[in-house]
Amino acid sequence: MRRKYAQLRVDERCRIERWRAAKVSPTEMARVLGRHRSTIFRELKRNHFQNHDFPKVAGYFAMAAHRQTAKSQSASSPSLVNTI
């Protein structure tokens, strides 16, 4: 049987973005959100934006991360396209 899990919600991603800017550790973020620390590390790694043409615009952006997740989900499940 597969384990059930819940995707990070947009409000959780916004909190992660603010905490990242405030230099809060991913372990502390996980503790406060009630998530496993690997979830936070994975989120930050997967959704880190960096462009060498714009070096000042780099980091974790919650809304971009949420859009990317929704886009990935809709590609894997066409029935979700209408709900996004």
> What ranges do the domains of the chain cover?
10-69
Mean pLDDT across the stretch 29-42? 95
| Rounded Cα–Cα distance for residues 43 and 5 (Å) | 14
Tell me what pLDDT residue 67 has: 76
Mind listing the pLDDT tens digit for each residue in 46-67? Answer: 887 766 676 676 677 777 777 7
Q: Which CA distances in Å does 44 have to 1, 48, 75, 81?
A: 28, 6, 22, 25
